[in-house]
């Protein structure tokens, strides 16, 4: 633990050292934008404000870094380092844009919602709120530096009031992020919040003079700033998703669309595996909901967990239409063909930059379990057979998603091969699958409770009968009639 604390402290010190020149550059260019020039002597016109503003800006960045280091509720696949690499550039970009908008249009047209939306979706909703507040304060002190507070003649009231509007916008945007939205609903929800919070800016603008022109002008400017923020968020989010490999529910929903090229290719080249994956996805999604995990992530893990089978689809029984190539192979070669699909799938998903959870599910969904069919076949052929030679050569599950896929994968195959006679028989079968995996040590590297495993079992027992329901024999009914 001491070693971890020292490493964390070292990372913080390095980050703090990097933030000082970053703050300097940010303040300098912000002032250049405010002055409408970009030469090196620009800040000379307000040199008395530069140093205190730089100090406050650096302090804000440090507090943001400390907050992120203590955040425990990051979105999946987001780490402290990724959070910093996302939050600080986004805050800096927002401050620069705010300064440009304030200088060229109006301080009420600042798109502070951009920070709240982007960091809230990629890092965490609370981090989005905190980053939005930091952006609002940083923008305010760049637009109206601290020195203006003791030089009243230089102080612009509208600059400080814009910070109030930004605070209100950031606060209400948090409620939009905390709800489960698709991309379309989130955008329109953010625009609706923008239309409401723009009223605050309209009221604030009346302090510059009581007139309908000021009121409606302030409202229009507030709407413009927030619409710019929402549009920028929609355009830039996919870029951050790609480079950070943090996939939001929007992206997961997209890759789970059956018109994806990879899934279409699977449906054509390995139709049995494709149908198996669809069924596993329905089971996994319900299991994820039952234990409080993200259903989009569970469905993505299920859709792509067997993607490695596309390299040799005919070596897997669900894709065979009569001829079985394993009949011509010794068990050892068959096992090598079978177990290769987990690592093949993992490598393919890594190349496509899928999230770690999906990649790990492809690698870990069999763990190091034995392939009993070929082990039994080898023992019947005689000789000295070691079961270790017939195990998958992959790590055991390290995430709850991998556990869900492992259990659902076996239960789907089992019930498809031999349909259970009753719900009690199905429950015993699923319970045996889970207990066998526990006894084999497959769940030792993942923090999953017996209560969660029991919920997974009950969900599978509830969902599978709906997938295996009997249909009416219409031809026979017609004959009888």
Classify residue 383: in a domain, yes or no. yes
Would you mind telling me the total number of residues written for the chain in this entry?
A: 481
Range of the domain at 128: 2-245
The verdict on 255 and 239 lying in the same domain is no
**How high is the pLDDT of residue 404?**
95
Encoded tokens for 462: 């509830």
Q: What is the pLDDT of residues 188-198, one digit of tens each?
A: 766 777 677 66
Say if CB 378 and CB 390 are below 8 A apart.
yes
Q: Please indicate, yes or no, whether residues 214 and 273 belong to a single structural domain of this protein.
A: no
> What is the mean predicted confidence (pLDDT) over 23-30?
67
> Do 279 and 180 sit in the same domain of this protein?
no
Task: Give phi and psi for 469, each to the nearest 5.
Answer: -65, 150
Please determine, for residue 66, whether its predicted confidence score (pLDDT) is greater than 70: yes
Same domain, 103 and 30: yes
pLDDT tens figures, 80-92: 778 878 888 888 8
Of 187, 169, 175, which is closest to residue 250 (Cα–Cα)? 187
Residue whose tokens read 């601290």? 146
Report whether 275 contacts 319 (CB < 8 A): no
Residues 424 and 408 grouped into a single domain: yes
pLDDT mean across residues, the chain: 78
Q: Could you identify the residue written with the tokens 């039994």?
A: 376
Would you place residue 186 in the very low, low, confident or very high pLDDT band (cuts 50, 70, 90)? low
The CATH number of whichever domain residue 289 belongs to comes to 1.10.3210
Residues 304, 169, single domain; the answer is no
Q: Give the integer Cα–Cα distance in Å for 401 and 361.
A: 7
User: Using alpha carbons only, what angle is made at residue 80 by residues 142 and 54, rounded to the nearest 5 degrees?
Assistant: 20
Among residues 216, 245, 274, the one where a domain terminates is: 245
327 and 283, same domain (yes or no): yes
pLDDT of residue 144: 65
Which of 229, 245, 261 is the C-terminal boundary of a domain?
Answer: 245
Cα dihedral 418→423→424→428 (10° resolution): 50
Which of the two residues, 382 and 301, has the higher pLDDT score?
Answer: 301
Confidence at 156, pLDDT banded by 50, 70, 90: very low
Angle at 243 between CA 128 and CA 227, to 5 degrees: 45
Q: How would DSSP label each residue in 209-231?
A: --SHHHHHHHHHHHHHHHHHHHH
Would residue 236 count as lying in a domain? yes
Number of domains in the chain: 2
Q: What is the pLDDT of residues 97-112, one digit of tens each?
A: 777 777 777 666 777 7
Task: State percent of the chain over pLDDT 90.
Answer: 23
Does residue 23 surpass a pLDDT of 80? no
What are the backbone angles phi and psi of residue 370, rounded to the nearest 5°? -75, 145
Does residue 225 surpass a pLDDT of 70? yes
Q: How many CB atoms are located within 10 Å of the residue 49 CB?
A: 21
Tokens of 403: 């556990």
Q: Is the pLDDT of residue 145 over 90?
A: no
Among 211, 245, 279, the domain-final residue is 245
Q: Which residues is 370 bridged to in the sheet? A: 391
Q: Are residues 221 and 288 in the same domain?
A: no
Q: Which of 197, 203, 204 is nearest to 173 (CA)?
A: 197
Confidence of residue 438 (pLDDT cuts 50, 70, 90): very high
pTM: 0.75
For residue 481, being part of any structural domain is answered with: no
pLDDT at site 129: 82
Contact yes or no for 218/206 (Cβ under 8 A) = yes
Cα–Cα distance for residue pair 395/343, rounded to 1 Å: 11
Tokens of 290: 């039952």
Q: What is the pLDDT of residues 301-333, one digit of tens each?
A: 999 999 999 988 898 988 888 788 888 888 889
Residue 167 has pLDDT above 80, yes or no: no
pLDDT of residue 155: 41
Regarding whether 240 and 179 lie in a shared domain, the answer is yes
Contact 146, 178 (CB under 8 A): no
DSSP category for residue 41: T
pLDDT digit string, tens, across residues 335-348: 999 999 999 999 99
Q: Is the dihedral of CA 282, 287, 290, 291 positive or negative?
A: negative
Q: Residue 480 falls within a domain, yes or no?
A: no
Flag whether pLDDT at 128 surpasses 50.
yes
Residue 479 is assigned to a structural domain of this protein: no
Same structural domain for residues 105 and 139? yes
Residues 191, 273 within the same domain: no
Residue-level pLDDT at 96: 79
| pLDDT at 141 exceeding the cut of 80 | no
Distance CA 290, CA 453 (A): 10
- pLDDT tens-place string over residues 271-294: 999 999 999 999 999 999 999 888
The answer to whether the CB of 206 falls within 8 A of the CB of 160 is: no
What pLDDT score does 402 carry?
A: 94
Structure confidence at residue 119 as a pLDDT band (50, 70, 90) = confident
Burial (CB < 10 A; 0-12, 13-18, 19+), residue 459, is: buried
- What's the pLDDT at 280? 93
Write the CB contacts of 174 (distance below 8 Å, at least 6 apart in sequence).
116, 120, 125, 126, 128, 129
* Residue 279 and residue 238 share a domain: no
């Amino acid at each position: 633990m001491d070693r971890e604390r020292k490493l964390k402290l070292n990372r913080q010190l390095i980050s703090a050292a990097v933030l000082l020149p970053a703050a300097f550059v940010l303040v300098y260019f912000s002032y250049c934008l405010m002055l409408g020039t970009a030469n090196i002597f620009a800040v000379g016109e307000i040199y008395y404000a530069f140093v205190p503003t730089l100090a406050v800006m650096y302090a804000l960045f440090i507090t943001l870094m400390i907050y992120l280091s203590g955040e425990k509720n990051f979105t999946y696949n987001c780490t402290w380092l990724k959070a910093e690499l996302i939050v600080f550039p986004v805050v800096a970009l927002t401050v620069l844009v705010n300064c440009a908008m304030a200088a060229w249009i109006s301080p009420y047209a600042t798109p502070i919602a951009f920070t709240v939306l982007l960091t809230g979706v990629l890092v965490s909703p609370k981090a989005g709120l905190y980053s939005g507040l930091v952006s609002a304060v940083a923008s305010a002190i760049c637009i109206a530096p601290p020195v203006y507070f003791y030089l009243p003649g230089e102080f612009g009231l509208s600059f400080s009031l814009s910070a109030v509007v930004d605070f209100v916008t950031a606060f209400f945007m948090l409620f939009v992020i905390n709800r489960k939205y698709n991309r379309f609903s989130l955008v329109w929800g953010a625009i609706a919040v923008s239309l409401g919070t723009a009223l605050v800016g309209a009221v604030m603008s009346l302090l510059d003079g009581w007139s309908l022109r000021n009121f409606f002008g302030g409202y229009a400017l507030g709407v413009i700033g927030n619409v710019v923020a929402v549009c920028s968020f929609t355009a830039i989010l996919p870029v951050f998703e790609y480079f950070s490999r943090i996939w939001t529910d929007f992206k997961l929903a997209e890759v789970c669309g059956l018109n994806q090229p990879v899934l279409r290719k699977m449906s054509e080249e390995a139709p049995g595996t494709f149908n198996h994956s669809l069924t596993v996805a329905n089971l996994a999604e319900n299991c994820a909901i039952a234990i409080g995990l993200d259903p989009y992530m569970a469905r993505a893990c299920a859709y792509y967990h067997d993607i490695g089978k596309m390299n040799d689809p005919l070596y897997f029984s669900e894709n065979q239409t009569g001829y079985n190539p394993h009949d011509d192979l010794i068990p050892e070669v068959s096992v090598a063909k079978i177990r290769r699909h987990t690592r093949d799938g993992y490598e393919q998903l890594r190349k496509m930059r899928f999230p770690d959870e999906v990649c790990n599910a492809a690698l870990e969904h069999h763990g190091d379990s034995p392939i009993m069919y070929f082990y039994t076949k080898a023992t019947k052929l005689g000789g000295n057979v070691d079961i270790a030679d017939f195990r998958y050569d992959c790590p055991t599950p390290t995430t709850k998603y991998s556990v869900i896929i492992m259990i659902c994968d076996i239960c789907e195959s089992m019930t498809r091969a031999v349909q259970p006679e009753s719900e009690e028989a199905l429950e015993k079968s699923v319970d045996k699958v889970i207990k066998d995996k526990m006894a084999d040590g497959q769940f030792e590297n993942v923090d999953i409770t017996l209560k969660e495993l029991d919920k997974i079992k009950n969900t599978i027992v509830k969902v599978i009968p709906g997938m295996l329901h009997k249909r009416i024999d219409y031809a026979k009914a017609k004959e009888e009639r």
